[in-house]
């Protein structure tokens, strides 16, 4: 016996509201997605009960949904179908979930938020020569992190032997055990010099020694998680959006270089990217500006014949 399609939907929405206690907004999204699907089903398979639905019959609907829409929208609509059919399965109305076989669209990794130059100035402030051990350390971490465009794991892995303060160079162990040089501008060098003095005095007081560059309060190496907490805490302190991901500093470094006219290959080297395509992900900046530069500077760039 075929179930009443629309009654099944009402039962499902009641379950979401009452038992799962989902927000009104989420329930509305489910309702909109599933009404569209049921209308499609009635049009394509008039009079056919939903118990007979197969994945093959769902495919034309998913193909229609995918056209001209973002992958995130398709993923949500597919999730709505899966949850709806799973509910009908639990109620004993369906034997199998026809949406279970549908491949979830591979979502593009969104780029991390990046900071404007003004926001970086706000975040870093003036390198502090004074202050307690943790203040001086945190300033050095932020300056070196942004100034060198490092990955979180690279920053946490630095040792004393990796630092050449005179030349303003850091030896960095990147992905896949590849070593590269990262650079420090004057603010990072000053902040790091102040930290190295504080670090030496602090370890002398404790009577301990360690090779790790950045230390936690117990005198051991500061973990990547510890660094992430420091970045987020400083962002909050300076009134920047909460939960700032440490990777946003590396992302900002790349963006500001490219906006300043740096060559893409040079930025690839500075970031330690194995492939140029990784670096190109940072090119979300003003493409009109780039096109104008191309037209202006390339011998065959002028597109007006």
Find out whether 281 and 111 touch, Cβ atoms under 8 Å.
Answer: yes
Give 279's contacts (C-beta < 8 A, 6+ positions apart).
254, 264, 267, 268, 271, 273
| Catalytically annotated residues | 151, 175, 247, 250, 273, 282
> In 3D, which of 291, 177, 156, 286 has the Cα closest to residue 229?
156
Angle among Cα 68, 71, 73 to the nearest 5 degrees reads 85
Alpha-carbon Rg for the chain in angstroms: 27
Strands (E), the chain: 163-164, 169-173, 179-183
Find out whether 67 and 105 touch, Cβ atoms under 8 Å.
Answer: no
Angle among Cα 160, 162, 166 to the nearest 5 degrees reads 90
């Amino acid at each position: 016996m075929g179930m009443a399609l629309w009654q099944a939907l009402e039962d499902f929405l009641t379950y979401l509201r009452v038992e799962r206690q989902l927000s009104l907004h989420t329930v509305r999204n489910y309702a909109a997605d599933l009404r569209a699907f049921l209308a499609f089903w009635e049009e394509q398979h008039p009079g056919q009960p939903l118990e007979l639905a197969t994945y093959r019959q769902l495919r034309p609907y998913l193909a229609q949904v995918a056209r001209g829409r973002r992958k995130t929208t398709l993923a949500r609509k597919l999730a709505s179908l899966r949850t709806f059919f799973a509910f009908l399965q639990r109620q004993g109305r369906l034997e199998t979930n026809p949406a279970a076989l549908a491949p979830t669209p591979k979502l593009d990794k969104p780029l991390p938020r990046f900071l404007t130059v003004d926001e970086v100035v706000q975040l870093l402030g003036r390198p502090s020569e004074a202050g307690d051990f943790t203040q001086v350390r945190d300033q050095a971490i932020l300056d070196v992190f942004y100034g060198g465009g490092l990955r979180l794991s690279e920053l946490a892995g630095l040792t004393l032997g990796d630092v050449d303060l005179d030349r303003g160079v850091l030896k960095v162990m990147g992905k896949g055990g590849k070593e590269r040089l990262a650079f420090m501008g004057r603010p990072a060098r000053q902040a790091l010099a102040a930290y190295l003095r504080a670090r030496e005095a602090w370890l002398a007081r404790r009577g301990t020694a360690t090779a790790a560059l950045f230390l936690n309060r117990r005198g051991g190496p500061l973990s990547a998680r510890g660094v992430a907490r420091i970045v987020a805490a400083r962002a909050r302190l300076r009134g920047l959006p909460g939960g700032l991901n440490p990777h946003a500093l590396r992302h900002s470094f790349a963006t500001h270089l490219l906006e300043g006219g740096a060559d893409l290959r040079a930025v690839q080297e500075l970031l330690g990217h194995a492939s140029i395509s990784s670096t190109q992900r940072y090119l979300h900046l003003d493409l009109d500006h780039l096109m104008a530069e191309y037209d202006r500077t390339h011998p065959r760039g002028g597109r007006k014949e």
